[in-house]
Amino acid sequence: MHTVLRSATASVTIGPDQPFCIIGERINPTGRKKFQEQLRVEDLSAVEIDVAQQIAGGAMMLDVNMGAPLVDEVKLLGDAVRLVQSLTDVPLCIDSSVVEALESGLSAYEGKALVNSVTMERERIDAILPLVKRYGAAVIALPNDEEAIPEDPHRRLELAKQLVGIATEEFGIPIEDIVVDPLAMPIGADHTLAMKTMEAIHLISTEIGVNTTLGASNVSFGMPDRHTLNAVFLPMAMKAGLTSAIMDARTPQIITAVKGADLMMGNDEWGATWIAAHRAKLAAAQAAEVAAQA
């Protein structure tokens, strides 16, 4: 199954037979005090840096979130979407827990966006899925309800099936436009949670057949050397059926692990992407050496 997202001039296809879709997570004020302060005065200059760094790192899509205390998120999300689209042609994931902000971002967007996200809570379903349908977007579906994120992978599968059924049958959203997030849980809280997430990925991928994504950094939360843990987790999750992730596209260690897994899984024909990336790395190192000697 292929999920196709588009900007005004470019597209990306998410699917098990496609290169893993790297969705850059950086345009998000969570945990970024200075960025939050800038947003309070509607200063989006940091976004330009974030876009450039993530695209240079290998992002194929960008997540855009303006959720910070004491900001006009409705206005800012629309402004940020327009700004990002003026800087790059990669498709966007429009990310907000505020329904009005989602609509602002969707109305500003040129193309077919990915909406982040909808849960099994009926109030959220009735608010968000009509927007997804109206704007012809795709949507990330989270298998959690009013109670909690279930640890049991089979319960996550059950909730995902229910949510996919509601989206397709009640709202007429094509199943290929639903990307399920099986929910990455922090291994620092329980050493079994990563394996449970991978089991949920496998169940959802095989029994529903939809594409999947994760907030990949969540798995290493609270642990030291997070980049190494993320670089180990993502290829394992890809083997389980993960087809995309919202992740740090600025970290070469993680990107290299994903690209290597793409090659090993047969999604990098003749190793062309791997070889091109290696040559680019060598050229950059040689340029740096020349500059240092000048």
pLDDT tens sequence across 10-24: 999 999 999 999 999
Give yes or no for residue 104 having a pLDDT over 90.
yes
Q: What is the mean pLDDT of residues 111-134?
A: 96
Peptide bond into 117 cis (omega under 30): yes
pLDDT at 146: 74
C-alpha distance from residue 284 to each of 25, 57, 246, 281, 291 (Å): 25, 13, 26, 5, 10
**What per-residue confidence (pLDDT) applies to 20?**
97
Identity (one letter) of the amino acid at 64? V
Helix (H) or strand (E) holding 197: helix 193-207
**Confidence (pLDDT) at 220:** 94
Between the alpha carbon of residue 198 and those of residues 43, 67, 237, the distances in Å are 39, 29, 6
pLDDT at residue number 288? 85
Q: What is the mean pLDDT of residues 110-126?
A: 96
Residue 145 in this model has a pLDDT that exceeds 80: no
User: How confident is the model at residue 255, as a pLDDT?
Assistant: 95
Q: Domains along the chain?
A: 3-267 (3.20.20.20)
Predicted local distance difference test score (pLDDT) of residue 238: 98
User: How far is the C-alpha of 182 from the C-alpha of 205, rounded, in Å?
Assistant: 10
Residue 229 falls in which region: left (phi positive, over 0), alpha (psi -120 to 50) or beta: alpha
Q: Residue 58 has what pLDDT?
A: 93
Mean pLDDT, residues 127-139 taken together? 97
- pLDDT category of residue 291 using cuts at 50, 70 and 90: confident
Confidence of residue 214 (pLDDT cuts 50, 70, 90): very high
Which backbone phi and psi does 3 adopt, to 5 degrees? -110, 120
Using alpha carbons, select from 150, 128, 139 the residue that is nearest to residue 93: 139
Per-residue confidence (pLDDT) for residue 281, from 0 to 100: 87
- Cα separation, 133 vs 113, in Å, equals 11
| Tens of pLDDT, residues 29-82 | 999 999 999 999 999 999 999 999 999 999 999 999 999 999 999 999 999 999
pLDDT at 294 over 80: no
Nearest-angstrom CA–CA distance, 197 and 77: 30
Tokens standing for 191? 């050493």
> Percentage of the chain surpassing pLDDT 90?
91
Residue labelled with tokens 């399920």: 180
Q: Please, are residues 110 and 85 in contact by the beta-carbon 8 Å criterion?
A: yes
pLDDT reported for residue 115:
98
Q: Which of 72-86, 125-139, 159-173, 279-293 has the lowest mean pLDDT?
A: 279-293
Residue (of 109, 114, 115, 113) closest to 85 by Cα position: 109
pLDDT tens sequence across 147-170: 778 889 999 999 999 999 999 999
Measured CA to CA, the distance from residue 2 to residue 13 in angstroms comes to 6
Mean pLDDT of 206-226: 95
Confidence of residue 280 (pLDDT cuts 50, 70, 90): confident
